[in-house]
Each structure stands twice: as C-alpha cells, then as structure tokens.
Structure 1
C-alpha cells in the first residue's frame, strides 16, 4: 500500500488550498486544484499540478457543487479528495459521494461527520463516554416551555444554540424566562433558515470563559493521538482572531483532563483522521465542558504544527492511505506559538473591505511562518470570507513568541488593501493579552476602551 494517495483533488480555494498543495507537492502527490474564474489568478491555481475551472455563475455555489467536483476528480484521475475547511469540509453528503465514487476521502466517515455535526447528537455521544457537557444530553428542545424548564434545571443565565449551527449564528444569552422564550423562538427560526434544521438546545452561559481546543488524530486501529491545546479565546462575535498554543496559565491537572476528555470524545464515535475537540473553560471554577467537535483541519492548525514539529496535512494523507501515521511519528511539544488572522476588513467597524492588492511583503525571520492565499496583483473579492493570511510566530517561550508575532505583524506589508492589522496590534499590546490573563470578552473590552478613548479625544479637540 502507498504511504500517501497517488493524486489529490483539493475541494477548496485560497489559503487552505495552497497549504494542502504545498505539502502534497513535497510528498510527490499529484495535485488537482479547482477554481472559479474569479480566483483564476490566485497562487494556489498555478501551484497545483493541474487546475480545472468550475462552472457556475455564483462563485460560492461553484465550490459547494459537490457533484461537479466529484466529476472533475474522476475526469482528472484523482484518487483522493481533501476538503480543507469551510465549504464542503463537514458535508456528510459530499463525503459519502466521494467514497461512493471510489475515491479516498481525506477525513472521517460521513457517519461520523453527521453525528459530530449535530450538536445535540454529539453532546449525547460524548456524554456517554464521560465527557462533561453543560445541560442535558437529551433530545432537542421543541417548545419555549421546555427551554424554560431546562434553564431552571441548569441555572440562569443560559445560552441558546442551534444544533446544526456554526460561527455563532443564532446564539443568544438569556437571563430570565421571558428573555429565554424570545431567544428560543428567534434562534429556532434563524436556525431553520440558515442550516435547514431548527433543532435548538440550551446550556449554562459562562460569563468569564476561555475557549480551549485539542487537536486529535484518529487511526484505523482505534488509537486517538491528542496534541497540546490551543487557546482560541480572542474572538469577535464568536469568530477567532488570535490563537496561541499552549494556553497560558492553564493548570497542569486541567490540561491533562482536557486531553483525556478529547481522546474520550473522539473515541466515542471511532474517530478517524484529523479533528478538533473544543471546550469552554470557566475561569472562575476551572471546570470545563464540551462545546463541539470539528471534523476537519482547523484554520489555526499551524500553531500545533509549530509547537510539535509535525505536518498535519502529511499525517492526514498518511491516515487516509494507510490508516496510520507515517513511520516513526512521535510528536514532542516544545515552545510557544501564535497565529494572527489578517483579514480584509475595516479595523474599527470590521466590515469587509474587498479590493485589489498592489503590494505584498511577508515577514521573515526565525520562528516566522505565513500561510496566505494572495499575493501582489491579486484581488480579494466580495464573494468569500475576508481571511487574507495567517501570520504565525514560534518562540522558545511565550515572551519570545509574542515579541516575534508583534514584529511579524508590523513587518507584514499589504498595500492597496484595508486590513484589520491595526486592531490585531491593539490586541497584542493590551495588558491582559501580554500577561496571558484574558477570556472570550477581551475583544469587546478593547473595543469599549477604543470608543472611550475616541470620545475623550473628540471632547479634547472641542475644548481646545
């Protein structure tokens, strides 16, 4: 059996497609890229062994056209398909179609994707394996009365979530039964429109929380390999901006418990290939609960690679082809790493700001890594997510890594495009972040400070 697939179609675009192609090319795996005409000039298209244009007027829909992508894979002689993240990465129907076409799916089975993609079902599965969850592991709630009864059991405030949701869509906090009834109906309605499923559940809301996750690899023999944790607490509207690994000031006992819980969660469904188990950690009590499992490679996977000396894409391909990791695989955690998500958006109001890139100069130096989907002469269009690049930095310790990350952000020059780099800089300069003492409310706190500062400056100008 080959150690890696002979050829690989990447069912994605931009930064993650380029990232996958880079490793596959190094391994001697023939790569096939797919692209919509609006992406024809992006680097990943030229860097693949072969590239095929997708048909379809609406760019996003073209990348969601699983039937067309499977046909291209067959026509080009691809033996495997890697979905990256986003688009069809956690689409069980697409994973099933790939397998039925006789191609190797680089990821977990469609059945696993279905269970872990439904928050009610995934909570039920991991709870049965002893993984702590918030609230009841029973069925989805059908009425406002049921939601109120559950809230009274777990205690207010509570968070209302869509079972099939993602990206924070429809999530709402309720402090009273009256608020909960309104939030329940709103979330149920939004979930139905956004995800095709109006299943909703309730869990206890933690006011001061950290978002911590564990990268895992599942092998055919049932082994689950767990890596060191990543702290993803620096978020804006539930969207991550800065990640670091390991999590600062984490109790060693809690760190060990998180790893054990991640292994149990992945093992509860016989997980295979790469995935991430996410937890919410109460900063006051130190308790943590299962949030969800992402059945794909994560945006923030580079910091795990940098702190463990591994290539997760290489391991994904190996597991897909052989059921196991590469020979001699023995990751050892060392040092500290940060990832900064540079996006084409207004740094104050965070509205998307698509446009052409006139100049592009990436930071370099010891411990610096940049994963990007663009270069000078390309354009960030309005059709897709605003992520432009990920600036990552590794150091022997947190202080060195943070200094390198700060310098890398300063050295990253993107001309002609408005990005969130100034806001990322303000995050890295806060006392809380420098000290590693922050939670998921950090970004909101920074925004409030900036607004207050701007107000004072206006008052000063008026009185001058």
Structure 2
C-alpha cells in the first residue's frame, strides 16, 4: 500500500479523498498510516482541505497556465517536494489529462487512475466510438471518424440526416458542441465548433452524429483492476441539467427495467475491458424511453461528482477502491447489487438574479441538513472563502 498520497485537487474533491484515506488507515491496523499531502495555492492556506490534510505543499503561480492546478511543471515540482508515491486527481483540472499522467509515471509516482494510453483511447470520442462499435455497444449513426472539410460535412450530413450534432473529439463540459437543424446551418456550425474546440482544448478535430432528441441521460459506473476484473455497480440517471451541466442525479434510473440496466452494465464492462482500462470510469448513454433505444455518448476516464449516489445504493466506497486497485489489489469478490434509491443535488455559490453567475466571497453562515439517509460532501465551512477562480460548486 502507498505511504504518501498527494491530492492534485481542491475543495470538496480533496476532502473526499482525505476521508477515504482516514477510513483506510482505521481499517489497516498494524501498518503505517497513509499520509495525505494537499497541493494548494498560497491563497488556500486556510482552506478546509488544507486544514484536514496531514501536510501541505504550496503551488507557485507561474505564467504557464491559468491556474497552478493545470501547470504540469509546477505540479511535478510540488509532487517531488511532497515525496509522494501516489497521486489522486478526483475530477476536473488534470483528472483526464494523459500528458500529466505520463509525467507522473516518468517521476516514478503511481497515478491513481487509468494509464495514459487507456485515457487517450477512451477520452478521444472518435476512438471511443470506434471501440464501442467493435464490442457491440449501441452507437447512433455518425460520421465514422473525424470531419475536416465542408464537403466532408455535407456528405456525412446527407447520409446521417437532420437534425444532427457536431462535437469536438476532445474535452467536455458542454463546450465544442453544436446542434444543426438544417443544411443551411451546417457550414457555419462546423467552422464555429472547430474554432471553439481549438480554443478550449487545443484540438480542432470534430465529428458528426445523429441528434438524439427527447432522451434521458444515463450512465454506468465502472471500476476495473489489474487482474481482469471489472465491476459495473451502478446505473445513474443524470437528465436534469443546465447548460449541459448536471444538476440533479439519481440512482437507479426510474425509467429503466432491471433487464435494461443489466445489459448496460454488461456492455459497459466489456468496453472498458477492451481498452485495457484500470481504475474508475463512467460510460454515458442517451436513452429514448418511447423507443426503448440506448445510444453511446462517451466515457469519462475519472471518478464523477455524482459517485456518492452509487455508493449509497451499493454500500461500496469508490475512492477506497480506486486506491486499492492502483496499489495492485484485486476487486474483492462479486460486484455488489444495487438496493434502494438515492438522489444527489449540487449546491453552487451563484447569484440567481445575475443569471446564475458565480458568487464568490466569504461564507457568513452555512448549515447543512443532518439525519438518517442524508450525506453531505463539501469542502467549505462557515468563515471560509469561496474564491472566484474555480467552479462554483461547493457541495
């Protein structure tokens, strides 16, 4: 088992890792406890995740990236100063960055997650779709590869039919996506999507697929070890969204039968196994209830914000499993069955009167609900400062 885990994240995500490590330490009597080192900015010295960590290393601000949490060179320096033998990245920042995972590997540090090769394969939406087709995961009609020119776009659009959607090969977060309802919108949408993809992700490559309408957004939680075992413990419904960002999630999906959920689990496990994947991931689909049709959307090669509802309905701890799998341990026995139902709501520090713009500042009062069946994952307390530099989600 690891001795020193550095957390390359902040806020709620970092606190989640700290809690999991504390539980592992309590369970592993007779062995040295795991030390958690928080990498943080100078402004975050008093943040909750830094207070709760065993040690801290300050990330220096440089001109190489918008935030030190994205600066590969600075992160590498801090990891060496931390004397870490493993790192946990959670979600956001460098969680799906294969270039950073390679740097970590070159430093001789274990990346608690997939290999850079598996991350590239499944993080590339074009390659992921091609692999999905090979293992019979349902895929919507699409261009079958990248679309580069206007002529390519017109040819594929004619074969696929309207409405369609143009998507960036890389990235996510609702960027690099445009719906096209008719032929006269196609060329402008192609140029704008390519430009946005280049600006947002440094990769202008896009593809085209049929627009799936009146669909639910469902996803399968998977975790795989180095011994050929793959669990697919939870199927979640994440259809309530705002600006392509999930707001309310629940497990399991209220519109799917057990047979449908079991089928999605099976094909999702086969997909990550075909990619020689190790660690936690989420396979996302669109589901049209009236036609009872599923279509593959993408794979997120990391843990998701909404993972707690799978934990609540299976009794497993996905973060502890991530650490154990990365340490070479096999998944313990059979995948637990789902039970009950769980709903997660995201709490964002935003100003509703200003179009839900982020509302940073000092937390004057904070009181979360308590009681049986309730769980709150957060990285803030009363008196803490919510900075303007990061995502507005605080719990």
1:346: which partner in 2?
A: 351
* Aligned counterpart for 2:54 among listed residues 41, 49, 70: 49
Tell me, yes or no, if structure 1 residue 216 matches structure 2 residue 213: no
* Aligned counterpart for 2:194 among listed residues 159, 184, 188: 188
Tell me, yes or no, if structure 1 residue 86 matches structure 2 residue 92: yes
* Aligned counterpart for 2:277 among listed residues 271, 274, 285: 271
Shift of 1:294: 0.7
Contact 2:143-2:207 within 8 A present in 1 as well? no
Equivalent runs, 1:17-416 vs 2, <5 Å? 17-28=14-25, 29-56=34-61, 60-136=66-142, 138-325=144-331, 327=332, 330-347=335-352, 349-389=355-395
3-state DSSP class of the match of 1:241? strand
User: What CA distance in whole angstroms lies between the structure 1 residues aligned with 2:351 and 2:176?
Assistant: 24
Contact 2:229-2:330 within 8 A present in 1 as well? no
Which stretch of structure 1 is more off in the superposition, 170-179 or 363-372? 170-179
User: What CA distance in whole angstroms lies between the structure 2 residues aligned with 1:375 and 1:8?
Assistant: 24
Aligned-CA RMSD value:
1.6
Contact 1:60-1:384 within 8 A present in 2 as well? no
User: What CA distance in whole angstroms lies between the structure 1 residues aligned with 2:329 and 2:106?
Assistant: 19
The gaps in structure 2 that reach 5 residues or longer are: 26-33
User: What CA distance in whole angstroms lies between the structure 1 residues aligned with 2:117 and 2:288?
Assistant: 32
1:450: which partner in 2?
A: none
User: What CA distance in whole angstroms lies between the structure 2 residues aligned with 1:185 and 1:107?
Assistant: 35
User: What CA distance in whole angstroms lies between the structure 2 residues aligned with 1:49 and 1:271?
Assistant: 31
Question: If the length of structure 2 is used for normalisation, what is the TM-score?
Answer: 0.94
Query: Relative contact order (alpha carbons < 8 A, sep ≥ 6): 1 or 2 greater?
Result: 2
Contact 1:127-1:137 within 8 A present in 2 as well? no
Task: Find the structure with the greater CA-based Rg.
Answer: 1
User: What CA distance in whole angstroms lies between the structure 2 residues aligned with 1:54 and 1:69?
Assistant: 7
Contact 1:60-1:383 within 8 A present in 2 as well? no
* Aligned counterpart for 2:12 among listed residues 12, 15, 20: 15
2:31: which partner in 1?
A: none
Shift of 1:370: 0.4
Contact 1:356-1:377 within 8 A present in 2 as well? yes
3-state DSSP class of the match of 2:158? helix
Over 3 Å counting, the alpha-carbon distance change for 1:346 and 1:48 in structure 2 is same
Structure with bigger helix share is 1
3-state DSSP class of the match of 2:222? strand
Over 3 Å counting, the alpha-carbon distance change for 1:153 and 1:284 in structure 2 is farther
Shift of 1:388: 0.9
Question: If the length of structure 1 is used for normalisation, what is the TM-score?
Answer: 0.80
Contact 1:346-1:352 within 8 A present in 2 as well? yes
3-state DSSP class of the match of 1:367? coil
Over 3 Å counting, the alpha-carbon distance change for 1:379 and 1:254 in structure 2 is same
User: What CA distance in whole angstroms lies between the structure 2 residues aligned with 1:330 and 1:266?
Assistant: 16
1:424: which partner in 2?
A: none
3-state DSSP class of the match of 1:369? coil
3-state DSSP class of the match of 2:280? strand
User: What CA distance in whole angstroms lies between the structure 2 residues aligned with 1:30 and 1:332?
Assistant: 32
Question: How many residues get paired?
Answer: 385
Contact 2:284-2:299 within 8 A present in 1 as well? yes
The gaps in structure 1 that reach 5 residues or longer are: 390-464
User: What CA distance in whole angstroms lies between the structure 1 residues aligned with 2:97 and 2:319?
Assistant: 19
User: What CA distance in whole angstroms lies between the structure 2 residues aligned with 1:387 and 1:68?
Assistant: 25
2:28: which partner in 1?
A: none
